[in-house]
Amino acid sequence: MVGQRASRWWTTGGLLILVWALFPLLWMVSLSFKDPNTFRSQTPTFFPSKWVWTNYQTVFSDALFTSALRNSIGISLIATLLSVVIAMFAAYAIARMDYPGKKFLLSMALAIAMFPQAALVGPLFNMWRSLGIYDTWIGLIIPDLTFALPLSIWTMSAFFRQIPWEMEQAAQVDGATAWQAFRRVIVPLAAPGVFTTAILTFFFCWNEFLLAISLTSTNRARTVPAALSFFTGASQFQSPITAIMAASVVVTIPVVLLVLAFQRRIMAGLTAGAVKG
């Protein structure tokens, strides 16, 4: 009896949180379909009285958005790839090897992750300008990596630690070199961890705002989160709100798709069956 009542409470609580979290999203979608000229009507409605695609047409015909989308995709993918590859080796070393300074390295990584980005913006701005990488892809990828790597290393070393030592030793006895054991046994086993890390890193880079707005000035390297703040409506007299919402919906879609596509990979513990369970 108690259990039933408790589980009903959990359901109600969960639903409340879900509504709380989804409401802004729904509001965003709804706004993106409203007519930009009339959405501030006298009698506001939650859902549009007339569904229109004009906002989407506006954002996709705007060079600011399309180039920002291209920049976002490019920068996020490159930063993610680099971060995952580097973090994979670093995490393996941290999980498997013993060397002096390991603790220090780990705590430094954590410290960097904790470091307030805002404090870095000024110096980076000056440095990037003198180095000539201000307003370029590489100028964003480097700081993105700096902040994404600690996260990647920490998540991945946790995954590597879960892989039983014996797997690697068995591979070595079977005739594998250290590299073969890593590539043919450890990496496939760590795949869920690699995917999880890759997705987390991608989100981080995709959503990054502060650096993107501070270290770019033109369409060359400006990413979507930064570009959104520069949005204007179709005309000077039109509110850009609905168009910004349409752009937001567009950049939210890849995130949702990624999670849906990989959630099973993330969840699946691939190590099941490796050892007696």
Please, what is the minimum distance in Å from the beta carbon of residue 147 to other proteins?
32
Please, what is the minimum distance in Å from the beta carbon of residue 175 to other proteins?
4
Q: Which is nearer to other proteins, 107 or 169 (CB)?
A: 169
- Cα distances (angstroms) measured from residue 48 to each of 31, 35, 41, 72, 234: 7, 8, 11, 30, 19
Q: Which is nearer to other proteins, 103 or 276 (CB)?
A: 276
Please, what is the minimum distance in Å from the beta carbon of residue 173 to other proteins?
5
Please, what is the minimum distance in Å from the beta carbon of residue 194 to other proteins?
13
Please, what is the minimum distance in Å from the beta carbon of residue 56 to other proteins?
42
Q: 144 exposed, middle or buried (CB, 10 Å; 0-12, 13-18, 19+)? A: buried
| CA dist., res. 122 & res. 236, Å (int) | 32
- Are the beta carbons of 259 and 92 closer than 8 angstroms? no
Q: 223 exposed, middle or buried (CB, 10 Å; 0-12, 13-18, 19+)? A: buried
Q: Which is nearer to other proteins, 17 or 173 (CB)?
A: 173
> Which SS3 state, helix, strand or coil, does residue 50 take?
coil
Q: Which is nearer to other proteins, 179 or 237 (CB)?
A: 179
| CA dist., res. 234 & res. 36, Å (int) | 9
Q: Which is nearer to other proteins, 181 or 227 (CB)?
A: 181
Q: Which is nearer to other proteins, 21 or 275 (CB)?
A: 275
- Cα distances (angstroms) measured from residue 85 to each of 78, 130, 178, 197, 248: 11, 29, 17, 11, 30
Helix and strand tally (H, E) in the chain? 12, 0
Please, what is the minimum distance in Å from the beta carbon of residue 191 to other proteins?
8
Q: Which is nearer to other proteins, 127 or 170 (CB)?
A: 170
- Cα distances (angstroms) measured from residue 273 to each of 54, 224, 269: 54, 43, 10
- Cα distances (angstroms) measured from residue 248 to each of 2, 226, 241: 44, 11, 10
Please, what is the minimum distance in Å from the beta carbon of residue 188 to other proteins?
4
Amino acid letter, 188 = P
Binding site for other proteins (CB under 8 A): 164, 166-167, 169-177, 180, 184-185, 188-189, 191, 270-276
Spatial CB neighbours of 104, under 8 Å, sequence gap ≥ 6? none
